[in-house]
Amino acid sequence: MVALNDIQTHYCTNGCGPAVVFVHGLAEDHRSWRRQQDEFTDHHTYAYDLRGHGASTLGGADGTLAQLRDDLIAFLTEVSGPAVCVGFSLGGTVVLSAAAQRPDLVTGIAVLGTSSVVGRAAAEFHQRRAEQVGDAAAVLDGLREDTAAMLASSTVDVDDLVARRAESIGDGRGYANAATAMAGLHGNPLTPELAAIKCPVTVIGGENDVLCPRKAADILLEALPRATYREIPGAGHLMNGDNPDATTAALRDALSQR
């Protein structure tokens, strides 16, 4: 645990070498990167819990991407030092925002299933999920519905994933905060800020991702000065669940090019 900004941030670390910071997605925690932390022992990896997720406290959450960005900047400043940053979905958006704000702290980027802008329907979806918090049954039903939609493989244990995701959000206030931040990308997209990112970026998409389709990756590829695309075959949005071998290989390749 480390005190950063107005919260206590929990993180796990492993390995030795160049620094890599992993940032998880909505309704997840540091455990979503366990496979990569176990394998990338030639790097000094860090995986932290976003505010209100996992064992990190919520603090004075304000429902903005800027606050989540500043939490990552604080982590890079006070814990890891300048690092390659890897983010999934919400975490990818946080990484891109931090890199645009503080390019001196982000030496390379890999983002998976990430958007810099959301449409009206997606914004309304995230806002509905935020408004369900306080009704435990509704939140659990929503997590189950969303998790099933994020997977392309019928062999993944959906119940196990739902249980882990439910555990990661606790009372749900951090989940509502992060969902509200994602909804804000409708009226305040991150896309115009991406030109400020000068480090190389690997954009990774799932072949069958219906939540963050190829169009979202194309927006990133057009806006980023130095970006390449990799696709994970047979994977939906939760590509680290659908095809962890290919996801790990793509991330390994991204790190080797830094």
Task: Kindly state the average pLDDT of the residues 107-124.
Answer: 97
> How would residue 146 be classed by pLDDT, with cut points 50, 70 and 90?
very high
How high is the mean pLDDT of the chain?
A: 97
Q: Residue 58 pLDDT > 80, yes or no?
A: yes
Task: Kindly state the average pLDDT of the residues 228-253.
Answer: 97
Task: Kindly state the average pLDDT of the residues 205-221.
Answer: 96
**pLDDT digits 0-9 by tens, 2-22:** 999 999 999 999 999 999 999
pLDDT above 90 covers a percentage of the chain that reads 97
Q: Residue 257 pLDDT > 90, yes or no?
A: no
- pLDDT at position 231 is 98
Q: Which CATH superfamily is domain 2-256 in?
A: Alpha/Beta hydrolase fold, catalytic domain (3.40.50.1820)
Q: Which residues contact 246 (CB under 8 A, 6 or more apart)?
A: 232, 233, 234, 235, 239
Task: Kindly state the average pLDDT of the residues 225-241.
Answer: 97
> pTM of the full predicted structure?
0.97
Sorted by where each begins, the domain ranges of the chain are: 2-256
Buried b (16+ CB within 10 A) or exposed e, 172-196: bbbbbbbbbbbbbbbeebbbeebee
> How would residue 154 be classed by pLDDT, with cut points 50, 70 and 90?
confident
